[in-house]
């Protein structure tokens, strides 16, 4: 169930500019806030259909989210597109100013290059 929680976090935070800014500014606070307030809600964001008691992060997943450890998230099976897009949203401007266009995407590629020729990590629950 926790891969679901990680992917849900990545999806929800990336889709909301205020949440994304909060995650960039204070990852630990945003992860804690999301887990307490948003993780249990089932249904479209902002429309509570029902609450779940099982959508929680493991300590290791929480650490990886707080540390922006996108390699670790990928390796444990977080969805590739979700990890890529949220961290582009966080890092792209800074990397582009320092190293030019696509600088973060190239770093992301390079840090995951050890997966070339290997089977993609399972995103199964």
Question: Residue 39's pLDDT band (boundaries 50, 70, 90)?
Answer: confident
How many residues are given for the chain?
125
Per-position b or e across 88-100, b if 16+ CB within 10 A of its CB: bbbbeeebeeeee
Average pLDDT, the chain: 88
Question: Residue 42's pLDDT band (boundaries 50, 70, 90)?
Answer: confident
pTM: 0.87
Question: Per-residue pLDDT for 123 more than 80?
Answer: no
pLDDT of residue 46: 61
CA 92 to each of CA 35, 52, 113, 119: distance values in angstroms, whole numbers, following the listed order: 26, 34, 19, 28
Q: At 40, phi and psi to the nearest 5? A: -70, -15
């Amino acid at each position: 169930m926790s891969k679901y929680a990680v992917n849900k976090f990545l999806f929800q935070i990336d889709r909301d500019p205020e949440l994304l800014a909060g995650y960039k500014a204070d990852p630990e606070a945003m992860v804690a806030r999301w887990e307490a307030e948003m993780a249990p809600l089932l249904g479209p964001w902002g429309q509570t259909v029902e609450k779940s008691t099982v959508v929680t992060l493991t300590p290791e997943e929480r650490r990886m989210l707080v540390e922006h450890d996108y390699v670790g998230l990928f390796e444990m099976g977080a969805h590739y597109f979700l990890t890529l897009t949220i961290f582009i949203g966080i890092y792209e401007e800074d990397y582009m100013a320092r190293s030019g266009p696509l600088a973060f995407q190239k770093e992301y590629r390079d840090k995951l290059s050890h997966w070339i020729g290997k089977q993609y990590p399972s995103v199964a629950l």
